Amino acid sequence: MYVDLHEHPELSYQETRTASIVAERLASAGYVVHTGIGGTGVAGVLSNGAGPRVLLRADMDALPVTEDTGLPYASTVRTTTADGVESGVMHACGHDVHVTALLGAADVLAQGRSRWSGTLVVVFQPAEELGTGARAMVDDGLYDVVPRPDIVLGQHVAPVAAGLLGVHGGPAFAGTDILGIRMIGRGGHGSRPEATVDPVVMAASTVMRLQTIVSREVAAGESAVVTVGTLQAGTKENIIADDARLGVNIRSFDEAVRTRVLAAVERIVHAEADAAGAPQPPEIVPGESFPPLVNDPTETERTRGALAAHFGAERVIDPGPVSGSEDVGVLATAAGAPIVYWLLGGWDPAAFFAAQRAGTTDRDIPSNHSPRFAPVPHPTLETGVTALVVAALDRLAAPGTV
């Protein structure tokens, strides 16, 4: 199944094939299945007597990335993005791992119903990469068709050694804000720059100045990331364009830091436009935004203990806060429930530990969203299935104890 899903990735809100496979597998395992929630989302409910309500979640969408892993089952799917760019489609963030592991856990827990009592809810979510899929499912009535959980559990594959699990209480994944910025100049002939206001120079100055926010406006004990991920301007070498467009991504763990960084971005963008003599103020359009994922400290320690008891304490590490972002926390917040969300190691252990010893993990171990991101199926899947089962059974009641 993992190989099949990897070969057939689907972009956000287009996960129809994946959703169909999920729904069929859940139904065959005895779950009551609800489809089309928030677009392509799927939820399964397995009621097994009185007891706690536990929600396990996986995300399904892939990315517009052209795969370069060299795997025999590499994706060859192609797409044209909304802005007209030709691209491959790839599970470059490992959501195929997440779907496979949760389906495996759903099977195991269904087959072992004599071992637990309560209600199990499994959610397969669209559009995590847009940061909108969890909210779309909630707004489309997820908790009208499935019971509100007492706890939300889940995992995300990461470029660390397969077989390891990373559990961190408190702020665990950063919140994110996307900004679309348009710097407005005055175009003209490349031979007469004095008759223009060059938006490329304006944008270049803005990009460099934005890099000072974290280094000069965020305290050493705080954390933030400001990335200019896209910069687009012009059509020909001897034409000065009318405008330039920047795509900015901001990550933060604290609301006060987030507010300060967003204000600094706005201040800098307007100041650089003023300094360049721009004929019009710049345009700043907010895009996707979702809050930090905060693991409940008490519940996280309980889950850490259950995982350590099963796998051994040496295989359950604390990775600290992760600067990547996740919208799974929306499912917990909407239900008024705590969340515990951990990292699942997915990289070849020999390669990972060799790079770690050499101090070259940043260079030699591709990260999520890289075209070379290639989790090893084994023991990643076995660990992922087992971790979900162990964490769920730790919450579900033993028969006869309710």
Give the mean pLDDT of 214-223: 95
Q: What is the pLDDT of residues 65-76, one digit of tens each?
A: 999 999 999 999
Q: Which of 15, 59, 61, 296 is catalytic?
A: 61
Q: What is the pLDDT of residues 314-343, one digit of tens each?
A: 999 999 999 999 999 999 999 999 999 999
Structure tokens at 384: 């992922």
Share of the chain above pLDDT 70, in %: 100
CB proximity list for 174: less than 8 A, separation 6 or greater: 223, 225, 251, 252, 253, 292, 321, 322, 323, 324, 325
Q: Which of 15, 128, 243, 299 is catalytic?
A: 128
Q: Which domains does the chain have, with CATH numbers?
A: 2-174+292-395 (3.40.630.10), 175-289 (3.30.70.360)
Give the mean pLDDT of 31-52: 97
CA 33/CA 46 separation, integer angstroms = 9
pLDDT at 400: 73
Q: Is 61 among the catalytic positions?
A: yes
What does pTM read for this prediction? Answer: 0.91
CA 341/CA 167 separation, integer angstroms = 7
For residue 402, name the pLDDT band (cuts at 50, 70, 90). low
HSE toward the beta carbon, residue 127, CA cutoff 13 A: 21
Nearest-Å Rg of the Cα atoms of the chain is: 23
Chain-wide mean pLDDT for the chain? 96
pLDDT of 82 above 90: no
Bridge partners, 121 (sequence order): 45, 55
pLDDT of 8 above 70: yes
CB proximity list for 384: less than 8 A, separation 6 or greater: 97, 98, 100, 101, 104, 105, 155, 157, 344
Q: What is the pLDDT of residues 193-212, one digit of tens each?
A: 999 999 999 999 999 999 99
pLDDT of 191 above 90: yes
pLDDT at 401: 74
User: Which pairs count as long-range contacts for 138-144, CB under 8 Å and 24+ apart, including other chains?
Assistant: 138/38, 138/330, 138/331, 138/334, 139/38, 140/37, 140/38, 140/39, 140/41, 141/37, 142/37, 142/38, 142/41, 142/43, 142/331, 142/334, 143/334, 143/335
